[in-house]
Structure formats: structure tokens, C-alpha cells
Amino acid sequence: MLQFSGGGQAHTCDGITRRDFLQVGTLGVIGLSLPELLAAKAQGAVAKDHDERSVIMIFNLGAPSQLDTFDMKPDAPVEIRGPFKPIKTNAPGIEISEILPLHAQHADKFSLVRSCYHTGAAVHDTGHQMMQTGRLFTGGINSPHVGCALGYLRGRKSDLPAHVILPEPMGPTGGNMPHGQDAGFLGKAHDPFALMADPSQPNFKVPDLLPPAQIGEVRLERRRKLRTIVDETVNNFAASDNAKLLDSNFEAAFRMMTSPQARAAFDLAKEPTEVRERYGMNRFGQCCLLARRLIEAGVRFVTVNTFLTVFNEITWDIHGSNPFTSIEGMRNIVAPMYDKAYTALLEDLSQRGMLENTLVCNLAEFGRTPRVNPAGGRDHWPQCWTVYFAGGGVKGGRVVGASDRIGGVPAERPVDPSEVVATVYHSLGLDLETKLPGPQGRPFTLVDSGKHEIHELF
């Protein structure tokens, strides 16, 4: 991830550490070069009518229970249906859980896919990768996050990065594999910008976006020296693509760092108090508000992680016993926070005329077991769960697919992770057969050949 204050001690041949370059963003926040853009357009990667579309991907780390949120089974035995009752929504024929009453008022804006599944291991990391890249990490090949691929193909629209992760990348979730939130084989130059801060805190700032006068002379002089080193590198290796890439990275990062537009986009103090409170004065709520501001300012793709880990905090991971969450914790803490922020975001985008050009997708790594476990919770279940989409050309008030009578497996229209990712690309107008330069010169299409978007949503 691009973190201006990131760690790491890998040295270049000139003795400069990797951290030195990260401090000024030399490995990230880069736009697409003209030759790359022309090549992408030549192979049909960019659809002009969709070029202005953006995406807010809300990733529900921990995985909500489909049976307690969007795919309830009120006629099943109590150990299957759980403690909550379904309620009607403003979309005819659609019912959801009583723990999401604000969602029920906006169901005409989003559509549910109740038949998502994958065949990988029932661990968080596996689902994270597959749902954000369309592929599983195998054979050492780390595929790029959909937002990173978008940034590679279309570049930035402003001084801001093409892809931003809020509030920060996913942390430990019990595995030891990539989470699918970086640029993978596209290289670190196309990694997202990670905020690495809690925007709900009273003194919230993005330190590396402060103007030079507030940075301090010592840090500014350090950056000047690095600029000199980069200049020498380019001069010495003028014909080198790597040198040109390094220089472009530096220019893009420094432009963002000193950009009034970038500082303004991240400045939540510009929002009225009542707007901030409508989203909820918590980390997730303020990240959703910040996502709207960033899309308005020209960011193409924002990923919002609802949570950062599944350990020792209240999350969607409702195993029922410590260090995980109980169903009661989901009902009393997680669901109200989530319900408030998501619906405020939909209202805001709709009222500002942004929803048609902003796809909001709510994803998760898997579902939860149909049967309540002895601790009163539900365990990992990749065999079936619900995701949903709004805006970006998606028609609201629909249900795609169906699960069986206990919410255990798809009964109609099974949808795998590659189709979910293909749907995001489709909304953006990208040709699914567009080639990305993979490792060792092997080209990769955006999604596996033969995979298609969930066309019923459009």
C-alpha cells in the first residue's frame, strides 16, 4: 500500500531505503502514461460513455450472516432462522431483517444477489482475495484489486489518487495470505493510497497532505534531497523506463502532497455537523462520508473496510464467543452503525445527482453457517451468502438468485466471485477481455475467460 509514513528497510543500490521513497510516495499515486492510455483505448478497454463512473466498494470484513440480514428464513426451525424477524421494505416483495430498518426504507435503490458462493477454503483471506480481484492467490500470482486495475487502465482524474482505501488496509484475519487490496502483479506503482487514520477523531488530519509551510523545514529539506537523487537517476538512465516511472511517481506524489484540492477533499471539517452526525460519528460512518467527498473530488475508486480485523473487536464475525462477536453484538452495535452510514451515503449520492455514476457495492468474503452454533453464533460458510449493489447503472429493488430453504446453498442463479468483480468492471465500461501485463510477460484478462457480469442487475 502507498503509505507516506510506511516502514520498511529495503535499500536501493544508491543506499536510499524503501521507506525513504514511500515517504514521498515515489512508489504510488501515479497516473496512466499516454502510451498506456492509448493502448488501452485501442483494445477497447475504455468505454467513453462510462469513463466518468466511479466506485465505492464497502467491504464487510468478517462476513455478515445472510440469515440475519438479507436472506431470512422465517419458516425454518429456530436454530436455522435465528432470533430476528423479517420486515417489509419499500421495494415490493423484498423483506430484510428488522436490525436494518433504514435499509428497508431505501431498498428501491439497491439490488440483492442472494446466491453468491465460492469453492475456496473457508478462511477470511481467501474470500478477501477472490471478491476483490476475481481470482484466488495461487502459484505465487497475486492479482490486482479491481480499483488498482482501474487506476492502471484509466489513471487519475485529478491531483488525487485513482484508488483510495479507507481507513487502512485489512489487518490480520487468521490467515497468512494477501488480502487482495493491492496492485499485485501490476506493481507497487499502482497500489492504492491508504489513509492510515481514523477520520472520526477530533484532530483528524492526513499529515503528508499538509502544505510545505506546515511540514517543517527538516522534512521538506529531506524531500528536496530525494528530489535531487531522483533527478540524477533520471539523468543517468534517461532511456530507462524504470527511471521515467520513478520520476512520474515522484511528480504525482508531490503534486498530491501539496495540492489544495487534495487537502480540501480530505477535510471533513468542511461538512456541516448535521451531515457528519447523519453518517454517524464513528470510524465507519466518517469513512463513508469521506468516500463521498473523494468521489466528488475526482477519485475513481474508494474501498471502505467496515472493519480491519476480526479479533478483539465487535465485527460481523459472529462466532458467538471471545475474541469474536455475538449475535447480540451484531444487533446492538454493528447493525445500527452500518445501517445508518450506508443509507446516509445512498441518500447523499442520490440527492447530489451522483448515484447513477457511482456504483456502490457491498461485498463480503463469505456467509455464515445456516445452523446456530453452541455458542449462539454462526461460523464461516462460503457455500452461500448475499452481496448487493446500488447506482452505477444498477436498477434497484431487485433480487437476483435465491438460496435453498435454509440459506445453505444457491438454489437459483449461482454467482461466483469472478462474476461479482466482472459486474464492477462492467459498470465502469471496461471490456472484460482487456489484457493486463502479468508476471513474466504473461498477459491476464480482467476476469477469467468466459466469465460475465451479473447482467440481471442492469
Give the list of residues 6+ apart from residue 390 with CB closer than 8 angstroms, or none: 109, 110, 111, 346, 355, 359, 360, 361, 396
Q: How many CB atoms lie within 10 A of CB 46?
A: 18
Q: How far from chain centre, in Å, is Cα 202? A: 25
Q: What is the mean pLDDT of the chain?
A: 86
pLDDT value, residue 50: 75
Query: Residue 26 pairs with which residues in a beta bridge?
Result: none
CATH 3.40.720.10 in the chain, residues?
33-208+273-457
Cis ω on the peptide bond leading into residue 272 (within 30° of 0)? Answer: no
pLDDT value, residue 240: 53
pLDDT value, residue 21: 36
Give the pLDDT band (50/70/90) at residue 308: very high
Q: Calculate mean pLDDT across residues 220-236.
A: 62
For the chain, state the CA radius of gyration. 22
Burial class of 15 by CB neighbour count within 10 A (0 to 12, 13 to 18, 19+): exposed
Give the pLDDT band (50/70/90) at residue 441: confident
Q: What cell does 338 get?
A: 452500518
Give the list of residues 6+ apart from residue 50 with CB closer than 8 angstroms, or none: 393, 427, 428, 429, 430
CA distance 266 to 204: 9
Q: Calculate mean pLDDT across residues 112-122.
A: 98
Q: How many CA atoms lie within 13 A of 31 on its CB side?
A: 17
Cis ω on the peptide bond leading into residue 83 (within 30° of 0)? Answer: no
pLDDT value, residue 208: 62
pLDDT value, residue 218: 59
Point out the least confidently predicted range of 72-86, 214-228, 306-320.
214-228
pLDDT value, residue 223: 60
- Among residues 296, 243, 300, the alpha carbon closest in space to that of 265 is found at 296
- Among residues 429, 458, 455, 340, the alpha carbon closest in space to that of 446 is found at 429
Q: How many CB atoms lie within 10 A of CB 75?
A: 8
pLDDT value, residue 43: 44
CA distance 43 to 45: 6
Assessment of whether the complete model's pTM goes beyond 0.75 = yes
Residue 141 pLDDT more than 50?
A: yes
Residue 249 pLDDT more than 70?
A: no
Residue 32 pLDDT more than 70?
A: no
Q: Calculate mean pLDDT across residues 425-439.
A: 97
pLDDT value, residue 29: 35
pLDDT digits (tens, 9 = 90+) for 327-384: 999 999 999 999 999 999 999 999 999 999 999 999 999 999 999 999 999 999 999 9
Point out the least confidently predicted range of 21-25, 54-58, 253-257.
21-25
More confident: 303 or 35 = 303
CA distance 185 to 245: 16
pLDDT digits (tens, 9 = 90+) for 188-222: 999 999 999 999 999 998 866 755 555 555 565 66
Give the pLDDT band (50/70/90) at residue 9: very low
Q: H or E element: which one contains 305?
A: strand 301-305
**Percent of the chain residues topping a pLDDT of 70:** 79
> 82's torsion region: left (phi>0), alpha (psi -120 to 50) or beta?
left
The class that CATH gives domain 33-208+273-457 is alpha beta
Give the list of residues 6+ apart from residue 215 with CB closer than 8 angstroms, or none: none
- Among residues 17, 25, 1, 10, the alpha carbon closest in space to that of 208 is found at 25
Point out the least confidently predicted range of 1-15, 67-81, 97-111, 112-126.
1-15
More confident: 222 or 394 = 394
pLDDT value, residue 213: 54
Each residue of 139-162: b (16+ CB within 10 Å) or e?
A: eeebbbbbbbbbbbbbbbebbbbb
pLDDT digits (tens, 9 = 90+) for 157-183: 989 999 999 999 999 999 889 999 999
Give the pLDDT band (50/70/90) at residue 36: very low
pLDDT value, residue 79: 95
pLDDT value, residue 66: 98
Asked if 87 and 107 count as a contact pair (C-beta separation under 8 A), the reply is no
pLDDT value, residue 259: 87
Q: Calculate mean pLDDT across residues 272-290.
A: 98
Helices 217-236, 241-257: crossing angle, 10 deg rounding? 160
**Lookup result for grid cell 435454509:** 406
Q: Calculate mean pLDDT across residues 131-135.
A: 98
Coil, strand or helix at 148: helix
